[in-house]
Amino acid sequence: VCSINNGRIKFFDINSKKCRHTVQALYSSFQQIKVWLNNCEDIVTRSYLAYRTLNKIGVMKLPGTGHPNEYDIILAHPTGVRLFDVTSCHNLLISCGEKDNCIFIWKFDMISMEKHLENKTLESNLELQKFESLFYYIQLQDASNLKIEQVISLPLITDFIRTLGIYISERQIQELYDEQCFKKNILDPYKIKIDFYETIRIYYNHFANNTLQTSIHDILKSVFNEYKLSKNSKINIHSLIQTLVRVNIFFFL
């Protein structure tokens, strides 16, 4: 397990060193994470990931789908958390403050978490259901295809993401392909089929609320700064087009 600096958690296979799973946890980076076996008699359903930010501590249900109900977080030390630890097979977390010279012992409310997990279906989220029309719309981009399916091939998710105004790089796309191919044990990403709800999970866990995501304004600005010339100079149009394709900008003429 590792944390990346935009609040996402990645799960890696130890033997192959390949990423198997990505979930969006918080909108800020983690300072420390630990796998917490809350109940040693039931490690399959009672395992959590404990973490701390600058001044909070929290837990996430493993393996996790990215649903907000799988997380719980509390302000532990307003002046900052220096470090924290877990107690395996016990329902306790320990935190130490940065400047308040306090050590706190926290008892995790398992019953409250279980109640949260009972109501975590994506179908109940009206905010996500508005994306469903986009899921079917991207299937009609090809004029020769007038058939609507309940599933799409994995590469079509890039069109779904761009329709939502998020411009993803070739590296992000390849990382997604590698993860899904490894996870589903399929070599060709075009043979991977995903339904609407899995599309939403991929969108949320990989691309939504990415504070490091470059905006379209920033991309265009960087491109035209690169080709900033005097009025009488000529721009190599082929080089410009290659640059625009590289940063995933598409113009429709």
């980076």: which residue's tokens?
29
* Residue 215 pLDDT: 47
Q: Are 21 and 10 in contact (CB under 8 A)?
A: yes
* Domains annotated on the chain, with CATH: 2-120 (2.130.10.10), 126-207 (1.10.238), 220-246 (no CATH)
Phi, psi torsion values for 237, nearest 5 degrees:
-60, -35
pLDDT recorded at residue 213: 46
pLDDT value for 192: 95
pLDDT for 182 equals 93
Residue type at position 161: I
Instruction: Pick the closest to residue 48 from 1, 7, 83, 80 (CA basis).
Output: 1
Phi, psi of 191 (to 5 degrees): -90, -5
245: Cα within 13 Å, side-chain hemisphere: 6
Whether the CB-CB separation of 114 and 94 falls below 8 Å is answered with no
Flag residues of the chain having pLDDT under 70: 1, 3-6, 26-28, 116, 119-129, 142-143, 145, 209-253
pLDDT value of residue 197: 86
Largest CA distance in the chain: 76
Q: Are 129 and 121 in contact (CB under 8 A)?
A: no
Q: What is the model's pTM?
A: 0.68
Q: How far is 164 from 23, CA to CA, in rounded Å?
A: 19
Instruction: Give which of 125, 127, 133 is closest to 163, Cα–Cα.
Output: 133
For residues 49 and 62, is the Cβ–Cβ distance under 8 A?
Answer: yes
Residue 73's pLDDT is what? 80
The predicted pLDDT at position 253 comes to 32
